[in-house]
Structure 1
Amino acid sequence: MSARMVLLGPPGAGKGTQAERICAALNIPAISTGDIFRSNVAGGTELGLKAKEYMDKGEYVPDSVTNAMVADRISQPDCVEGFLLDGYPRTEAQVHELDRMLEERGLGLDAVVEITADSDVVVERLLNRAQEQGRADDTEPVIRRRLEVYAEQTEPLAAMYRERDLLLQVDGIGEINDVTERIMSVLRDALNAH
């Protein structure tokens, strides 16, 4: 089953875990912008060197570089049958750029899955993870601010995809296997409807 999709969800909602499971089930690559940056930097590509200049200064990598990296990644042979994007798009401008990249190939997105999670549960999860991994910077105020920023940046994207009938919201609270089953159930319905 081919699927071109975007995965949205707040920090601590279990996106990484679910992305792996979705991709294994659908036999498509998971594409995280963080991984793309790291592989381009490690590979010393022209885009990687540009991204590294910004990253070394602690600045955001500009959309022009990020978009070019994503366009390059989704044009790879392993993406012919689909892909799952995690961490992209993050802005309305990137949504339009992704549309353009796909339209150039005569393609479109099949689904946008948003893993939802109650803020208090996510804060508790992230505080536990911070303790386990020794992340002193993950304090409750910092985590709550990250959730606010996520909501501010992502709500407009979710609304855009909702208008296009692409948004599938799935409760990310519960046992990992239960969440995976909820996601796969709504995905199967959506992909079969296309």
Structure 2
Amino acid sequence: MRIVLVGPPGAGKGTQAALLAENLSIPHVSTGDLFRANISQGTELGRQAKAYMEAGNLVPDEVTVGMAWDRMGQPDAAGGFLLDGFPRNVAQAVALDGLLKEAGLELDAVLDLEVPEDEVVKRIAGRRICRNDSSHVFHVEYSPPEREGVCDVCGGELYQREDDNEDTVRRRLEVYHEETEPIIDYFKAQGLVTTISALGSVAEVTRRAMEALPGQRG
């Protein structure tokens, strides 16, 4: 099964992508992981991306598309894949469509995780991360530590990342609305999009997503 997962920052894409990929036994293809892997391995695309990033420039679509397509061509993706963070804009969506058609393939579904903007702000701005281990994550409202500002796991200091403040989150949402949200209409025209509420527990959202996939109901 070939799936694209779309949603604003704070919708829980990373969490849901990992769970869905595991349930479906397909690789989770994350843009962030692609960049890190290509740069650390010193691939030609990785070198190109690193040069743009070090110069403070956006990585061109063709480099991002090249990395994603190379990953989709790996043996473990022969039975499908779940794309998280790609395509990021309509140009990348068009490029993906073209490459799939050339290969005689097509997408099965596009899942659109929907969450109210105020909830996104609350989720991200309330996040607190341990300085000793960034995998220890708390939330001032949803999963507060036993002692304010102190990690339950190791006793480290909890802090709010600079880009997790409300102003930055709202700017990230604006970028999402301008750049990424239009791909939903693009894929809707192909009858591929199912919108899923990202409110509720992680398990509830996963269940909704699985039920929305072709052949997965019941």
Question: How does the TM-score come out when normalised to structure 1?
Answer: 0.92
Q: Deviations over 1:107-138 (max 9, x none)?
A: 00000001000111110000111565530232
Which one of 177, 181, 193 corresponds to residue 167 of structure 1? 193
Distance 1:118 1:30 in 2: 25
Q: Which runs of 5+ in 1 are unaligned?
A: none
Q: Which amino acid aligns with 1:98?
A: L
Distance 2:110 2:59 in 1: 24
Q: Which SS does the other structure have where 1:115 is aligned?
A: strand
Distance 1:73 1:152 in 2: 27
Counterparts of residues 52-71 of structure 1 (less than 5 Å): 52-71=50-69
Q: Which SS does the other structure have where 2:163 is aligned?
A: coil
Distance 1:158 1:41 in 2: 29
Distance 1:155 1:18 in 2: 18
Which one of 128, 131, 134 corresponds to residue 160 of structure 2? 134
Quick check: 2:88–2:180 contact (8 Å CA) kept in 1? yes
- Does 2:199 correspond to 1:176? no
Counterparts of residues 13-24 of structure 1 (less than 5 Å): 13-24=11-22
Match of 2:110 in 1: 112
- Structure 1 residue 43 displacement after superposition: 0.4
Q: Which runs of 5+ in 2 are unaligned?
A: 130-137, 139-158
- Once the two structures are aligned, what percentage of the paired residues are identical? 49
Q: Counting helix residues as a fraction of each chain, which structure ranks higher?
A: 1
Quick check: 1:13–1:116 contact (8 Å CA) kept in 2? yes
Match of 2:43 in 1: 45
Quick check: 1:110–1:191 contact (8 Å CA) kept in 2? no
Distance 2:19 2:216 in 1: 19
Match of 1:155 in 2: 181
Quick check: 2:11–2:115 contact (8 Å CA) kept in 1? yes
Q: Which has the higher contact order (CA 8 A, sep 6+)?
A: 1
Quick check: 1:113–1:168 contact (8 Å CA) kept in 2? yes
- Structure 1 residue 15 displacement after superposition: 0.3
Superposition CA RMSD, Å:
1.5
Question: How does the TM-score come out when normalised to structure 2?
Answer: 0.83
| Residue correspondences, number | 189
Say which is worse superposed, 21-30 or 131-140, in terms of deviation. Answer: 131-140
